[in-house]
Amino acid sequence: MTSADYVLGLADDALVSAQRMGWWISRAPQLEEDLALANIGLDQLGQARSLLSYAGTMLDRTEDDLAYLRDDREFRNVWLVERPQTDFGVTMARLLLFSAWQRELYAALVTSSDATLAGIAGKAVKEVAYHLDHASQWVIRLGDGTDESHSRMQAALDAEWPYLDELFEGAPELRPAVLARIEQVVAEATLAVPEVAPVVGGGRHGLHTEHLGYLLAEMQHLHRSHPGATW
């Protein structure tokens, strides 16, 4: 049987990533990219809503309760998605790692014996394929670009790489396919696969970096200040 904690982990990854994507709205380097990042965030928000609603059926809570009324220690997302992403290179490096993992994960969950989870995964896997493609194109363009864009893309990849490991907690079998996909993009981008030690993240157990608290304060304050507000 699927545990509520497991579903919350997937839901919170998508929700927190969506919130970080939202930061880019009106700030992206060009209009097309502004729309792209907003739409990627919207897809992730949609996945998060389906997953939170499903977790809510096991916990007898609504999706809004789970999104707005939990504190950071109750969130189950990985550290990869919760840190600030105000650098475009970091945003693309992170999206490459995250969507490559989500792609393999959702593709595997499509055949899950849990019909609800399989249904959510069947929708999400198609959306995530677009995210992965988008991130791949930017990493290749910036990596195989000017000296400046190459060095900044490499620095971004080096910064995100330590957080890759936490994604495989509980599902190490996904690692070979995810790494193969990422390394293919990294090679085409003329970048080097970082040789950095992994960070031991504790997101799946409710242990987070300081950044999640600030993100939640912004995301939750309206709902908490005005419970039940609608417009």
CA distances to 92, 133, 166, 196 from 51, rounded to whole Å, are 24, 23, 20, 33
Tokens in use for 133? 């493609």
From first CA to last CA, the distance across the chain in angstroms is 38
- Encoded one letter per residue, x for contact with another protein by CB under 8 A and - for no contact, window 34-53 reads -xx-xxx-xxxxxx-xx---
Residue type, 135: A
Looking at beta carbons only, is 78 or 120 nearer to another protein? 120
Nearest CA among 208, 183, 205, 178 for reference residue 193? 183
Tokens in use for 164? 């890759």
Binding test (CB under 8 A) with another protein, winner from 23, 68, 87, 122: 122
Tell me: does residue 118 bind another protein (CB under 8 A): yes
Decide if 149 contacts 88 (C-beta within 8 A).
no
Looking at beta carbons only, is 30 or 225 nearer to another protein? 30
- Name the one range near another protein by CB under 8 A: 33-41, 59-67, 151-159, 170-178: 33-41
Identify the bridge partners of residue 202 per DSSP, sorted by sequence position. 207
17 secondary structure, DSSP code: H
Q: Give least dist CB 228 to another protein, A.
A: 17
- Encoded one letter per residue, x for contact with another protein by CB under 8 A and - for no contact, window 136-155 reads --------------------
Tell me: does residue 22 bind another protein (CB under 8 A): no
Decide if 52 contacts 15 (C-beta within 8 A).
yes
Alpha helices (H) along 60-166: 63-68, 79-82, 88-109, 115-143, 147-160
- Binding residues for another protein restricted to 98-117, rule: CB under 8 A: 115
Q: Give least dist CB 94 to another protein, A.
A: 18
Looking at beta carbons only, is 73 or 126 nearer to another protein? 126
Looking at beta carbons only, is 42 or 69 nearer to another protein? 42
Residue bearing tokens 């792209």: 36
Looking at beta carbons only, is 15 or 80 nearer to another protein? 15
Tokens in use for 186? 């990294």
Q: Give least dist CB 32 to another protein, A.
A: 4
Binding test (CB under 8 A) with another protein, winner from 20, 83, 94, 134: 134
- CA 71 to centroid of chain Cα atoms: 19
Q: Give least dist CB 163 to another protein, A.
A: 24
- Binding interface with another protein (CB under 8 A): 32-33, 35-36, 38-40, 42-47, 49-50, 115, 118-120, 122-124, 126-127, 130, 133-134
